């Protein structure tokens, strides 16, 4: 594939260079060149080859794409999707509605304060909140599973509000 | 998951424990509080106890001391069960009781451990026992003797020959379910992996442990046969599966499932069949625990706003509230004699261990900075996890709050203790 590309490059460069080799006549009166009246590009060489990449890129793998953000954050003692989480819910719901074969695991988390099993249940509430929000946007139940990691897999370690806030979170996992 | 590896580790651990007697403790016990009235008891060195891989009289002394109930006097001499006893001498040394014994090697390689418990005041024999064990079970024979002494002098069955299970975490990536003797010795890794393990629960016969594993990116309840290493998934319903608790007859487990959209208590057979919903609220119901008679299930519910402890029949039905003080009460645990409820209450900003006499409703604060309590099978002690200085550890407190022990370990983090049952 690469060989064809460079060959194509060489071929098209050669074509360009040959087009530019004809000298431009300079006159005193300025010649206004209007792009719409530019002469048609040089006729393509019938032996040109322009390479094409097959298959579409998985939008989930694009780190800058709109599906890159997968975490929904929650306030302390809250199990309601905040305004800043709604765009994430919308984007992933739209993707799942277009791609019925895709499934997500929604993992809810809590900060480390409190009992292990009760925190597992609180994390579950966060996951369910995201699952219900996606459900109201039309995503079918068979495409989603809401589960909890409780306080067991913290993203940030520390007994301070910054770490706790980072861990009060539900993640959409494909 | 490779099933044979945990079995190999189990075997290796047992041999290691037998080869290196007292100092291979992963968990060290420090005593910080004792009972108000201690029974003075003298313990002699046992005749020929050097033939065993562990020093029987030392194990007995440590057990009795750790209970907080005895003032242990070192007899400073060897006395066997057939030695002539000068009761007056021991009485004058302040001992109310005297422990003597011997160890003998049998022809088949097994050890016979004999002992006698003597009453110095009545100049009589209170108890005698003979245990024949493989050398690797020397410590167990000594614990059984300590149990017998404890029972004869306090009226309550001893728990020295029991085991504990707990979870350790190393470097946030290695999780191990470990089983050790109640004194912290003889640790064996029962299960290990890269994902968290929580909520271990011993089966009533002590051969299996139920626990929650996150190896499938979600909480799933497993039951593992400790002897064979075989694991069975007991509950992997859609959503989260957690908080396993055995019925007293070992045939069913109560669990918390989120399969119907929110965390509720369900019952399931030990083989995973016949799931039945037991609790019914629109909020969180979790942490089920059977009462000792198997007739009731206590559990945590936030149906009134914050988490409180409730009680319902073992087959579900109407629930009655049990805790009323404070706004955060979780982790109910029931003593085997049915008399005491222990739980964790958030008061004054911290989490404390409380005990309630169920007949009178009287509460007693037992320890601060405590979570995840577990009763000893004789109902006299509670083991719990402590959080301090960024690390977690285990501690023990007696039900009257007087006897305190700390279990320290070199391991990173140690939590989720579960005290095993009496075994033969």
Could you give the CA distance from residue B296 to residue A100 in angstroms, rounded to a whole number? Answer: 45
Lowest mean pLDDT among A128-132, B11-15, B137-141: B11-15
Q: What pLDDT is attached to residue B17?
A: 33
CB contact under 8 A, B242 and A120: yes
For B102, residues 6+ apart whose C-beta sits below 8 A from its C-beta are B46, B47, B48, B49, B80, B81, B82, B113, B114, B115
Q: What pLDDT is attached to residue A1?
A: 47
Residue with tokens 């006698």: B116
Could you give the CA distance from residue A131 to residue B262 in angstroms, rounded to a whole number? Answer: 12
Shortest Cα distance, chain B CAs vs residue A63, angstroms:
22
CATH number at residue A147: 3.30.1330.60
- Strand order, beta sheet including B208-213: B197-202, B208-213, B220-225, B231-235
pLDDT per residue as tens digits for the range B230-273? 999 999 999 999 999 999 999 999 999 999 999 999 999 999 99
Residue with tokens 């410590």: B139
Tokens describing residue A103: 């499934």
Considering the domain boundaries, does residue A101 fall inside one? Answer: yes
Angle value at C-alpha A116, between B341 and B208, nearest 5 degrees: 75
Which of B144, B160, B147 is closest to B111 using CA atoms? B144
Average pLDDT score over chain A:
83
Q: What pLDDT is attached to residue B1?
A: 38
CB contact under 8 A, B240 and A122: no
Task: Flag whether residue A69 sits within 8 Å of chain B, measured between CB atoms.
Answer: no
Domains assigned to chain B: 37-154 (3.40.50.10070), 233-419 (2.120.10.30)
Considering the domain boundaries, does residue A32 fall inside one? Answer: no
CB contact under 8 A, B284 and A107: no
Considering the domain boundaries, does residue A24 fall inside one? Answer: no
pLDDT per residue as tens digits for the range B16-58? 333 333 333 466 778 888 888 999 999 999 999 999 999 999 9
Residue with tokens 């407190």: B397
CB contact under 8 A, B287 and A118: yes
Shortest Cα distance, chain B CAs vs residue A147, angstroms:
5
* Contact of B395 with B370, CB cutoff 8 Å: yes
Considering the domain boundaries, does residue A92 fall inside one? Answer: yes
Query: Average pLDDT of A85-106?
Result: 97
pLDDT at residue B164 is higher than 50: yes
pLDDT at residue A59 is higher than 90: no
* Residue of chain A whose alpha carbon sits nearest to that of B344: A115
Could you give the CA distance from residue B176 to residue B191 in angstroms, rounded to a whole number? Answer: 6
pLDDT per residue as tens digits for the range B186-241? 999 999 999 999 999 999 999 999 999 999 999 999 999 999 999 999 999 999 99
Judged by DSSP in three states, B145 sits in helix
Judged by DSSP in three states, A135 sits in helix
Could you give the CA distance from residue A98 to residue A92 in angstroms, rounded to a whole number? Answer: 10
Which of B249, B278, B61, B233 is closest to B149 using CA atoms? B61
pLDDT at residue A110 is higher than 80: yes
Could you give the CA distance from residue B241 to residue B223 in angstroms, rounded to a whole number? Answer: 13
Could you give the CA distance from residue B417 to residue B211 in angstroms, rounded to a whole number? Answer: 12
Average pLDDT score over chain B:
92
pLDDT at residue A10 is higher than 70: no
CB contact under 8 A, A115 and B243: no
Rg of chain A in Å (alpha carbons):
28
Nearest to A116 among B214, B217, B416 (CB): B416
Considering the domain boundaries, does residue A53 fall inside one? Answer: no
Residue with tokens 């988490």: B307
Considering the domain boundaries, does residue A54 fall inside one? Answer: no
* Contact of B41 with B97, CB cutoff 8 Å: yes
Considering the domain boundaries, does residue A113 fall inside one? Answer: yes
Residue predicted with more confidence, A46 or B14: A46
Residue with tokens 């007087």: B402
* Contact of B303 with B267, CB cutoff 8 Å: no
pLDDT per residue as tens digits for the range B113-141? 999 999 999 999 999 999 999 999 999 99
Where in the sequence is the domain holding A156, given as residue range(s)? 59-173
Cα B233 to the center of its chain, rounded Å:
24
Check residue B372 and give left, alpha or beta (phi > 0: left; psi -120 to 50: alpha): left
Could you give the CA distance from residue A173 to residue B148 in angstroms, rounded to a whole number? Answer: 55
CB contact under 8 A, B243 and A105: no
Residues in chain B within 8 Å Cβ distance of A146: 239, 258
Could you give the CA distance from residue B286 to residue B278 in angstroms, rounded to a whole number? Answer: 11
* Contact of B288 with B256, CB cutoff 8 Å: yes
Q: What pLDDT is attached to residue B25?
A: 46
Nearest to A115 among B214, B261, B330 (CB): B330
Number of domains in chain A: 1
CB contact under 8 A, B219 and A107: no
Split at pLDDT 50, 70, 90, the class of A52 is confident
Q: What pLDDT is attached to residue B35?
A: 86
Judged by DSSP in three states, B414 sits in strand
Query: Average pLDDT of B300-327?
Result: 97
Q: What pLDDT is attached to residue B160?
A: 97
Shortest Cα distance, chain B CAs vs residue A42, angstroms:
59
Considering the domain boundaries, does residue A135 fall inside one? Answer: yes
Shortest Cα distance, chain A CAs vs residue B238, angstroms:
7
* Residue of chain A whose alpha carbon sits nearest to that of B218: A147
For B50, residues 6+ apart whose C-beta sits below 8 A from its C-beta are none
Residue % of chain B over a pLDDT of 70 = 92
Residue % of chain A over a pLDDT of 70 = 75
Render A18-60 in DSSP notation, one character per residue: HHHTSPPPP-SSPPPPPGGGSPPPPPPPTT-------SPPPGG
Angle value at C-alpha B321, between B319 and B323, nearest 5 degrees: 150
């Amino acid at each position: 594939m690469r060989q064809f590309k460079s060959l194509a490059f060489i071929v098209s460069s050669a074509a360009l260079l040959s087009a530019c080799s004809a000298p431009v006549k300079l006159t005193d009166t300025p010649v206004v060149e209007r792009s719409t009246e530019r002469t048609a590009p040089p006729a393509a060489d019938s032996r040109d080859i322009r390479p094409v990449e097959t298959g579409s890129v998985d939008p989930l793998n694009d780190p800058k794409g709109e599906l890159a953000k997968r975490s929904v954050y929650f306030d302390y003692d809250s199990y309601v999707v905040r305004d800043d989480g709604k765009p994430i819910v919308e984007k992933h719901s739209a993707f799942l509605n277009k791609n019925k074969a895709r499934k997500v695991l929604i993992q809810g988390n809590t900060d480390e304060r409190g009992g292990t099993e009760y925190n597992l249940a609180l994390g579950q509430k966060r996951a369910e909140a995201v699952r219900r929000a996606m459900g109201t946007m039309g995503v079918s139940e068979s495409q989603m599973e809401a589960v909890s990691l409780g306080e067991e897999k913290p993203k940030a370690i520390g007994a301070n509000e910054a770490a706790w806030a980072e861990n009060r979170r539900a993640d959409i996992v494909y | 998951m490779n099933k044979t590896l945990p079995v190999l580790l189990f075997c290796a651990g047992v041999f290691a424990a037998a080869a290196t007697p007292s100092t291979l403790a992963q968990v060290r016990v420090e005593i910080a509080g004792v009972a108000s009235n201690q029974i003075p008891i003298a313990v002699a060195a046992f005749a020929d106890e050097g033939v065993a891989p562990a020093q029987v009289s030392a194990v007995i002394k440590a057990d009795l001391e750790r209970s907080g109930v005895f003032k242990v006097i070192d007899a400073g001499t060897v006395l066997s069960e057939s030695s002539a006893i000068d009761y007056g001498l021991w009485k004058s040394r302040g001992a109310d009781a005297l422990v003597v014994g011997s160890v003998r090697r049998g022809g088949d390689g097994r050890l016979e451990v004999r002992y006698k418990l003597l009453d110095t005041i009545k100049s009589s024999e209170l108890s005698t026992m003979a245990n024949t064990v493989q050398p690797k079970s020397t410590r167990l024979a000594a614990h059984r003797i300590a149990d017998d002494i404890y029972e004869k002098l306090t009226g309550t069955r001893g728990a020295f020959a029991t085991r504990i299970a707990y979870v350790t975490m190393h470097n946030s990536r290695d999780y191990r379910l470990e089983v050790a003797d109640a004194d912290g010795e003889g640790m064996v890794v029962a299960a290990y992996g890269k994902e968290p393990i929580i909520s271990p629960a011993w089966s009533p016969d002590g051969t299996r442990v139920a626990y929650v594993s996150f190896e499938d990116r979600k909480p799933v309840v497993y039951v593992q046969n400790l002897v064979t290493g075989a694991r069975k998934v007991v509950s992997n319903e859609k959503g989260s599966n957690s908080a396993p608790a055995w019925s007293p007859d070992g045939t069913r487990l109560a669990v918390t499932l989120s399969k119907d959209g929110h965390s509720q208590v369900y019952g399931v057979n030990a083989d995973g069949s016949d799931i039945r919903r037991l609790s019914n609220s629109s909020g969180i119901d979790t942490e089920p625990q059977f009462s000792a008679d198997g007739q009731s299930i206590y559990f945590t519910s936030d149906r009134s706003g914050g988490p409180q402890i409730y009680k319902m029949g073992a087959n579900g039905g109407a629930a009655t509230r049990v805790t009323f003080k404070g706004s955060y009460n979780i982790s109910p645990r029931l003593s085997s004699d049915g008399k005491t409820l222990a739980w964790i209450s958030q008061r004054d900003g911290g989490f404390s261990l409380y005990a309630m006499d169920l007949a009178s409703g009287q509460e007693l604060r037992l320890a601060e900075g405590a979570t995840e309590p577990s009763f000893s099978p004789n109902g006299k002690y509670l083991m719990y996890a402590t959080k301090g200085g960024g690390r977690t550890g285990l501690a023990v407190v007696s039900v009257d709050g007087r006897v305190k022990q700390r279990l320290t370990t070199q391991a990173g983090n140690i939590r989720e203790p579960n005290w095993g049952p009496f075994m033969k």
